[in-house]
Amino acid sequence: MPVIDPDALRRHAIARTLFPPTTLLKAIRRLGFVQADPMRAPARAQDLILMQRVQDYRAGELERRYTKLPVDEDCLVNYGFLPREHLALMHPRTAKRPWDADTHARAADVLAFVREKKRVHPSEVLAAFSHHGRVAGYWGGELNASTQLLDGMHYRGMLRVVRRDAGTRVYEAIDHPEVDDSPAAREARALALMDLVVSLYAPLPAATLGYLTTLLNYGAFELRAETRAACKAAASRYAHATLDGERWYWPADENPASRRHRVDMERVRLLAPFDPLVWDRRRFERLWGWAYRFEAYTPAERRTMGHYALPMLWGDQMIGWANLKVDRQRLVPDLGFIGRRPREAAFRQALDEELHRMSVFLGLED
């Protein structure tokens, strides 16, 4: 086998995830999971991720087409969208903090209400039940108690998101098929989930695999012992190599040193902060030699890259970042570079083409 070096890993990481544009459903299935984020700067993360992989994709298209796709919102290693066939790997699912008897009773009442109404907006639940308490939200704000109950029911697989109305989840009841809970079946489910995250983020360092296993234990809480065991046995399931004292993993049927990995050296791409290529900040720094920072929640005076910096890939190098805003129906880029800004005409043309693609994606140009 040819020598695996950082250049080979870098090209492999790019080529396997930035595959030729395809249809929306095929792209989601090939990725296996698309992380979601509600912030628009200039578009939601899921749209920015899909823009790079779906032919003629437009911002908001996933939400518009969601009801007709075999895709669900759910939690894998983070919250996002995944093919419906993956739900059986994670459900039925309980939670780390069990409900008390009163919460179970309220959930049963709400579930009966949802079944009767077929599809329910949280405001309908609030109007029908006396869930008027307020509870602390995850980011220091407040969530209505009925909304939190619906979130908990969704996490436990009692409800699914059928669509969104102005960004708010609309739910329907869901019945999962009975799952074989034998030790062998549980192990097989855990291995399938591990394969899913390895395929999404490979090639990945061992430390990242351990971190993903911790996150996966939230998405597949019932299988936490099995996923930990799968992580420990990774060397016997996945191809791997050690570089600079650190072990890297990738699917067994792939070869990072293969000459079939094609990277478009003339293209510029502006990537979402949660794109699979840049999601793992540890891997990013190992492959490209600098630390990317997501600073949307950093006080403005302490930011070094900007509110929502999109890493800038040119060929096989991450050369900087871009903050994008829309002003009077025009896309306005604010660029930053790790070294000097490339002066080649090829870069200027490639950047203009990517900004044009972004403008079309945002609906600013035909």
Q: Is residue 204 part of a domain?
A: no
Which of 173, 197, 214 is the last residue in one of the domains? Answer: 173
In a domain, 215, yes or no: no
> In angstroms, rounded to a whole number, what is the distance separating the alpha carbons of residues 355 and 342?
16
Q: Has residue 132 got a pLDDT over 80?
A: no
pTM of the model: 0.93
118-139 average pLDDT score: 73
The share of the chain scoring above pLDDT 70, in percent, equals 95
pLDDT top residue among 126 and 111:
111
* Interval 271-284 mean pLDDT: 97
Give yes or no for a contact between 23 and 54, defined as CB atoms under 8 angstroms apart: yes
Residue 163 burial (CB count, 10 A): 16
pLDDT band at 139 (very low <50, low <70, confident <90, very high): very low
Neighbouring-strand partners of residue 242: 247
Q: Examine residue 217 and state whether it is found in any structural domain, yes or no.
A: no
> Alpha carbon of 251 to those of 199, 226, 331: distances in Å?
6, 19, 39
Q: Count other Cβ atoms within 10 Å, centred on residue 24.
A: 18
Of the residues 150, 173, 196, the one at which a domain ends = 173
Q: What's the domain count of the chain? A: 2
CATH number at residue 124: 1.10.10
pLDDT grade, residue 248 (50/70/90)? very high
Is residue 251 domain-resident?
Answer: no
Share of the chain above pLDDT 90, in %: 80
Q: Does 146 fall in a domain?
A: yes
Residue 258 has a pLDDT of 82
Query: 62 with 51: CB under 8 angstroms?
Result: no
Residue carrying structure tokens 């293969």: 258
Is 193 within 8 Å of 82 (Cβ atoms)? no
Q: What is the model's pLDDT at position 140? A: 46
133 pLDDT above the threshold of 70: no
Residue 333 placed within a domain: yes
Give the pLDDT confidence score for residue 260 in this predicted structure.
72
Chain segment 160-211, per-residue pLDDT in tens? 999 999 889 999 999 988 889 999 999 999 999 999 999 999 999 999 999 9
pLDDT tens-digit readout, 305-347: 999 999 999 999 999 999 999 999 999 999 999 999 999 999 9
Residue 1 counted as domain residue: no
Domain region containing 164? 101-173
306 in Cβ contact with 295 (< 8 Å): yes
Residue 109 included in any domain: yes
Single residue among 140, 173, 206 that ends a domain in this structure: 173
How many whole angstroms separate alpha carbon 277 and alpha carbon 262? 15
